[in-house]
Amino acid sequence: MEKRLKNYLVTLREISEKAQRGEYTPEQLAHQRAEALVQISFFQHERLIHLIVTVLFALMTLMSVLGTILSGQLSLSLLVLVLLVLLVPYIRHYYILENGVQQLYAFYDRLL
């Protein structure tokens, strides 16, 4: 998804530059705006799903840390470690999606 988002950002940057130079007819520009809205909605959905997954992993990690501290069982430390290893990539991916969608908004506003 990260690669798709970056490729679409490059495409929108090119469209935006061409639109500023007046290389599009009003109909073509309207079509580009409509296409941008569709793509933005796809990426927003992906962002929402990853936000939910990231928050759930963070809560499970927090509960595991508290369980380890309160129970004193070191076997739960392995669960904490596994959850942390999974949580870091989720946070990174969500960060990329969030920033990418914000950039999509900016490009869409320029097309107006």
Give the pLDDT score at 26: 86
Residue 104 pLDDT: 92
pLDDT of res. 75: 83
According to the model, what pLDDT value does residue 91 have?
A: 93
What is the pTM (predicted TM-score) of this model?
0.79
pLDDT tens per residue across span 15-32: 888 888 888 888 988 898
Q: Alpha-carbon distance 9 to 30, whole Å?
A: 18
Residue 105 and residue 43 in contact, taking contact as beta carbons nearer than 8 Å = no
Q: Name residues of the chain where pLDDT drops below 50.
A: none
Domain boundaries along the sequence of the chain = 2-111
CA 53 to chain centre: 12
Give burial (CB, 10 Å; 0-12/13-18/19+) of 73. Answer: exposed
Give the model's pLDDT for residue 112.
76
Question: Would you say 91 and 54 are in contact if contact means Cβ atoms under 8 Å apart?
Answer: yes
pLDDT, residue 73, reads 85
As a whole number of Å, the end-to-end CA separation of the chain is 26
